[in-house]
Amino acid sequence: MIRRASVVAALAAAWTAAAWFLWQTKVPSSLRLPHVDERRFFTASQLHAASSYSSVADWLWIGGVIVQLSVLVLYAWRGERFTRDSAAGPMVTGMLLGMVGFALVWLAQVPFTVLGLWWERRHHLTSVGYFDTVFGGWLGLGTEFVFLCVALAVVMGFARLVGEWWWLPAAPVFVGLALLFAFVDPWLSTTHALHDARLRAAATRFERVEGVPHTPIVVERVRRSTTLPNAEAAGMGPSRRVIVWDTLVDGRFTERELEVVVAHELGHLARHHIWKDVGWYALFAFPGAWAIARATRRRGGMSLPPAVPLALLVLVVLNYLALPLQNAIGRHMEAEADWMALRTTRDPAAAIGLFRRFVPTTLEEPDPSTFDYLLRENHPTLVQRIGMAEAYATSAAQSP
């Protein structure tokens, strides 16, 4: 008992030390964000439109979660009956059970997907058709099916080899897959070079300032499916790049505001946030896999097919339980990227202009509810981002 407690304590200490390392940031610990009244920056009609859109989107999200969990609870309770009709071996039967569970969840989510699309189309945020949304993503669904089968093969294979300790060798495999996906992700979308010469020149300056030289800035065509503006930092090493959606460079944002966006994404790369994402994934993967191993012991462990429906339920529940912490981690890194952009561009006015323009173009609430903040927001709120820009402007004005 004492030895086990010592091992648990050592693992907890290692986890905490790794989390502390990943949490480090360039944002000054002394920085205090001022209170920002959203009515200073947004009109009453903008705030009403954002609140109206978000309230319905919240209820659709809640409904989707309830239905998903209900389907998985029923499947975990009765799903093992499917094993009686299977003539395949345990591994294949387990993968079939995983695919059946995935298909049931997908079917149950279709009404919420359609309603969500209707709500987005009503607010002119997308032009995608209903048929394409429900039936046009077969390639993506097929990829998810394949990944689920691979994941179950890895878990059940290790479980048959080492028993209930399968999570120790399996978790590093999933971390390796996360690294692989992070590396190849930029090559999975169709992009073209950025044509804006002034923005390219600004990006070159920012790359030198932030220490990420020779980072390609490319544009992804999404205008046919959405009006939402967005950009992302992606890739590792030779695949590293900044991807800007063509909806961001369609004239709705000024050149200075676009420079803030590019500096923000380069800040993600400069601070190794993609590597840190994988690191955080690893920190969640080990205890998560252990929890699944413990929860499925009564079904004979993950070497047997009856454990698969229960494992799917436990996995989804753990993901929802981890959402507040995962979103806090996301907001922490996004805040650091905002700070890097402010330091690089030295243009807090442009940053504030960018954040103000997000409300009419995305219907994002500037100061969302606590529910949204904890469970749905992986970026700082717009009032927080404006507050950081104002705090930077104040500190810059006071500097000699």
Residue 3 lies in a domain: no
DSSP string, 244-303: EETTTSSSSS-HHHHHHHHHHHHHHHHTTHHHHHHHHHHHHHHHHHHHHHHHTGGGT-TT
| Percentage of the residues of the chain whose pLDDT score is greater than 90 | 81
Residue 228: inside a domain = yes
Between CA 247 and CA 226 the distance in angstroms is 8
Instruction: Give the pLDDT confidence score for residue 1 in this predicted structure.
Output: 64
Residue 6 in any domain: the answer is no
Over the stretch 21-30, which tens digit does the pLDDT of each residue have? 999 999 999 9
| Residue pLDDT, tens place only, 95-129 | 889 999 999 999 999 999 999 999 999 999 998 88
Q: Which domain holds residue 267?
A: 43-398
The answer as to whether 388 is a domain residue is yes
Both tokens of residue 77?
């309770």
Residue 12 lies in a domain: no
Q: How many domains does the chain have?
A: 1
Task: Examine residue 212 and state whether it is found in any structural domain, yes or no.
Answer: yes
Does any domain span residue 19? no
Residue 35 within a domain: no
Q: What is the mean pLDDT of the chain?
A: 92
Nearest to 335 by CA among 17, 29, 16: 29
> Which residues in the chain land under pLDDT 50?
none
Give me the residues paired with residue 97 across strands. Answer: none
